[in-house]
A and B are shown apart, each in its own frame.
Chain A
Amino acid sequence: MVAEFLAFLNPATGTDNVLSFLLSLIWIAFLMIFFLYPSFGQRMQLSYMLRDLEKKLNRLKAIKDEIHRVTVDTIKRVGRPEKDPTPEIDRLSEFFIIQPESMDPYGLVYKLEHILETGERTYENEVAKIAPHATEHQVKSLTNLVEVLRGINTLYRVVRHYYLLGRKTSNIYMVLQIQMVLPMIIEIAESYQQAATAFSKGQPIGDGVGPLVAAKLADGREKERYEIAKDTIVQEVEIENRKVYVVRAAGPGGTVGRPGEAVKQLIERLPENPKLIVTIDAALKLEGEETGKIAEGVGVAIGGPGVDKYKIEELARSRGIPLHAFVIFQSITEAITPMRESIAKSADVVIEKVRQLILEKVNGGETVVVAGIGNTIGVGV
């Protein structure tokens, strides 16, 4: 049978030149496809892109499932709940916060503050409920962990949305847009995965460099300590006869505290205005820049939604207090993953710089406020 077929195809033995006839037929078919179906090339490209997207979407899903597993395991281990916390965790991972309406910007900051505080409190209470045996600090770190889960969940849902929409509409431009940003998204997702590990174990993260500087500045010199706003403490220390009020979130649980409200409350209580307000925070480096590089400037170094920054700026302006800032550069990945050596090392350099600044700008007997901004997980007092 095979031999007969081969003989049939062979130009020497076949009746006509069947092989060349078949070949031309294929060529004509190809040509017809491109004539009658001009977007054929694009369709091919689209299907390649969709396949690529699908692969990365699966990777995202794997990361999401891994973070989910870590979250459930940690809550079971630390919180020792009586029943399976999975449904509650799933519910919390879909939790949302609606931004306030900005059509009328008057009082917007306080509206935002109110909504964020409500969200934070609700979240913390919910986590405390599903982890009844966790300590106060552990609840805060677990809350961070559930927030990471919520972040990756949102990321996954958005990418899946574009993938499915692109497939449904065969719209190459829709797919192109998500494909362009996907490498960055994957990178963020991978840092979330590491962040989840850090939060589940209570390891200090790169963003914690602000509280770390504050902790080391006050360590061994502390005269008095009190809570001034939710999760935020003041440590009174003296540096060469200058009174220094160190403001930071109370560790070692994972929280950023309320530095804005804390500085405001503190200064309103003080008998006289401080000479200086110094803020220390982690800042996003540009690609190619060195991790742990220190820069100094003026203004309030606080990231996030802007409520804390606004409060300190407003207060400093009304009282004419100069604002100084130190930032420690790091990438977004380094900020939420366990602290790198270079960042920890720059904390010591910043402490020295803050000391120098205080000695230079503040006279003996005067006061200064130093605020270490960031997530204080793994940094105790």
Chain B
Amino acid sequence: MSEPSLVIGRGKERFQEPLTFLKCLECGTENSRPFKEADYVLKVVEDEKCPKCGSMKSKIVNIYVPEKKTPK
């Protein structure tokens, strides 16, 4: 009568952490990293180096949980 699998099975897809997408204000490169507290969309971040040009100013353009890629 009870379906433990229904309740337990769902457990594995829980707690997916969102990613923060930063766009460099100098060269426009976009890169992502795991979400950190106090991040928010449109926040200007001044303490993270752009991996391409080394500029310290970037803006958060998106925060979301990436879709799971279906294994092929």
Q: Smallest distance from the beta carbon of A74 to chain B beta carbons, Å? A: 10
Give the distance in Å from the alpha carbon of A379 to the alpha carbon of B63 in the complex. Answer: 9
Of B4, B17, B40, B60, the most chain A CB neighbours within 10 A belong to B40
Q: Which of A187-209 contact B (CB under 8 A)?
A: 187, 190, 193-194, 197, 201-204
Query: A194 vs B11: C-alpha distance in the bound complex, in angstroms?
Result: 11
Contact between chains at A204 and B14 (CB < 8 Å): no
Chain A 24-53 interface residues, beta-carbon cutoff 8 Å to B: 48-49, 51-52
Q: How many residues of B contact A (CB 8 A)?
A: 26
Q: Which of A51, A183, A187, A341 has the most CB of B within 10 A?
A: A341
* Closest residue of A by beta carbon distance from B38: A202
Chain B residues whose C-beta falls within 8 Å of the C-beta of A201 in the assembled complex = 35, 37
Tell me, rounded to whole Å, the shortest Cβ–Cβ distance linking B64 to chain A: 4
Known contacts A340-B67, A341-B66, A380-B43; 8 further A-B pairs (Cβ under 8 A)? A59-B7, A194-B14, A204-B64, A252-B41, A252-B43, A339-B65, A344-B64, A381-B42
Residues of B within 8 A of A (CB): 1-2, 4, 6-7, 10, 14-18, 35, 37-43, 60, 62-67
28 contacts between A and B (CB under 8 A): A49-B1, A51-B2, A55-B4, A183-B6, A186-B7, A190-B10, A193-B14, A194-B15, A197-B15, A201-B35, A202-B37, A202-B40, A203-B63, A204-B18, A212-B41, A215-B41, A252-B40, A338-B17, A338-B18, A338-B64, A341-B66, A342-B67, A343-B64, A344-B64, A379-B42, A380-B40, A380-B43, A381-B42
